[in-house]
Every structure is written in C-alpha cells, then in structure tokens.
Amino acid sequence: MTPNLLLQAAFPNLWLWLIEPLSFVFMRQAIAIGFLLGILSAVVGSYLILQQMGMMSGVISHAVLPGISIAFFLEINLAIGAFIAGILSALVVMIIEKRSLIKVDAAMTLALTSFLALGIILINVLETNQIDLNSLLFGDILGVTKQDVWQTAIITVIIIILTRLFYKELEFYTFDPVGAKACGLPVNFLYFGLICAITLNIVASMQTVGVLLVMSLLVGPAITAYLWVKSLAQMMILGAILGIASSIGGMYISYYFDLPSGAAIVMLIFVFFSLSFLFSPTQGIINTPTNRQRLITLLKLMKQDK
C-alpha cells in the first residue's frame, strides 16, 4: 500500500480536507505561488531584519502604486511599473539619508506617504480607476494565474542563485557594513542589490497577499526564525519553512472559512511568531530563568494542593 493510500485509510476526513481545494486550478496555482513566496521572503527578509531595515519593505510596498498606475495607463506589465517605482522610492530614502542630517526613519516616512499620495493622484489623473485596489492592496488568490506562478518561480530562482554566489559578501555587509566598506567591498552595489531583491519580492507577492500585507511575509517568518537559531543560513532555512507553512496554511484557511487570503496568511504568521515569542528555548519570555522558576513553583503548589 502506498503512503497516500495509508494516509487516506488512517485519516479519511483529513485526506478529503487536504485534497478538496486542489481540485480547483486557482487553488493549485495559489498554493504553488505561496510555496515559492515562502522561500523567497525568508531569504530576502533575513537580510532585511539583520540590517534593521524592516520598515523599508513598507516604503517599497506602498511606493509601487504610482508605478502600477503608469504601467496600467501605458498598457504594459504592471510588474515593470511596480519594480521601477519601488527602486525609485528606496533611492529617494538613501539620497535623503546620505545628503542630509535627516534620520532614516523620517526619510522612509516621507517617501512612503509621498509615493502613496502620488499613486492615488495618478489613478485619478490617468483615469485608471479600473485597477482593483482591494485585490492589489490585500491580495486575491482567485486572481493568481499561471503567468504569476512562473514569474514568481523565475524571481525566486534568480534571488537564490545570486544569494548563493554573493553569500559571503552579503553576510559580511549585513553584520559589519563599516568593515565591509573598509575592506573594499562595493557596499553601495550590495545595498542596491538588496533593494532590488526586496522590490522583486513585493512584485511577486502583490497578487497573493497584496502590497500592504507583504511586509508581514517579508518580516514575520524571518523574525520568528531569529528567535530559534543563531546563524544566517539557519535563519533562512527555518524562515522558509515557516513562510511556506504560513502561505499554504493561510490558503486553506481562506478557502474553508471564506476569508481574504492575504489576511489569513498574515494572521498565521503572527500565530507562529507568538508561539515562538513565548516558547523559544533561548529567547522565549516563558523560558527565562525567572519565569521557569515561577512555573516550577506553581506546578509544585498545584501538586501539593492535590
């Protein structure tokens, strides 16, 4: 008897629960893209978190709106417009930070709100009201196409290959940017490469979780993994597992409970983070020496009462 038949015989209801959504093409495509995004987001998000650039994902995810509006008006691929706008927003932040005394958080806030406002204006001026802002901002698995899957697969493969080729340089730059610059590494090029990776990730995630919720997919699995492991490589691997589980699990929750796919994925990510925040062996708040002693004392008291 094959493993599939054994699983079906042991858990008939579970088997039907797992198989039913797969009878629909849109669900198979959505799960495939969720699997790829789980890997892609973990790789990019790990660098993002370790460099304390989590808010940059928010800037870029909001900044793609004017690019999408212009691309829609010109009748070209929306991903091209989104990518260009995302890169421009990151460059604006970098220029403001480098050429003035303004702190990076203020520069990010300015860029985020300005690009978002520009996008809203362009939607009205260019009369591109046909853009479905609801699915764009919050995701829609019903809109995932085979082209989206292939586009995400290509982006994922490119990012993984580049990460593998420049892993040592990126690791050095991530943990010690000043030292990397002193050693002659092209830190501006590495920064720009990271921004491109973030933007490509956001472009790939637009259809599934939406540009507003992609921040959680980029940051959530990475910081959850950070609570459990100590190395960058382990953080990427565990983050990818958590990202895949969250994406696919969120799809199933969305299907069975008729919930928005992006919101379901984000809440599942938060559940994983909350459990890790509580029970991580090294950083969980319940596992601190003081709390462990309190828990032991409480269990002893409960045992005595019995």
Residue 9 lies in a domain: no
Rounded to a whole number, what is the distance in angstroms from the first to the last CA of the chain?
49
Residue 153: what pLDDT? 92
DSSP 24: S
Residue 246: what pLDDT? 93
Residue 128: what pLDDT? 72
What would the mean pLDDT of 181-195 be, rounded to a whole number? 88
Residue 83 lies in a domain: yes
Spatial distance between the Cα atoms of 145 and 135, rounded to a whole number of angstroms: 14
Residue 138 lies in a domain: yes
Of 225 and 137, the structure prediction assigns the larger pLDDT to 225
Spatial distance between the Cα atoms of 9 and 6, rounded to a whole number of angstroms: 5
Domain count, the chain: 1
Residue 5 lies in a domain: no
Q: Which of 55-64, 197-206, 288-297 is least confident?
A: 288-297
What would the mean pLDDT of 209-236 be, rounded to a whole number? 88
Domain CATH number, residue 34: 1.10.3470.10
Residue 15 lies in a domain: no
Token duo for residue 171? 């690791």
> For 155-160, which contacts have Cβ atoms below 8 Å and span 24 or more sequence positions?
155/40, 155/200, 155/201, 155/203, 155/204, 156/36, 156/37, 156/39, 156/40, 156/204, 158/200, 159/40, 159/43, 159/44, 159/197, 159/200, 159/201, 160/39, 160/40, 160/43
Tell me which residue range forms the domain holding 291: 25-305
Residue 146: what pLDDT? 86
Residue 141: what pLDDT? 65
pLDDT over 60 at 5, yes or no: no
Residue 158 lies in a domain: yes
Spatial distance between the Cα atoms of 230 and 48, rounded to a whole number of angstroms: 16
Kindly report the number of other CB atoms within 10 A of residue 267's CB atom: 15
Q: How confident is the model at residue 125 (pLDDT cuts 50, 70, 90)?
A: confident
Mean pLDDT for the chain overall: 84
Residue 153 lies in a domain: yes
Residue 2: what pLDDT? 55
What would the mean pLDDT of 16-24 be, rounded to a whole number? 82
Residue 7: what pLDDT? 46
Residue 46: what pLDDT? 92
Residue 136 lies in a domain: yes
Residue 120: what pLDDT? 86
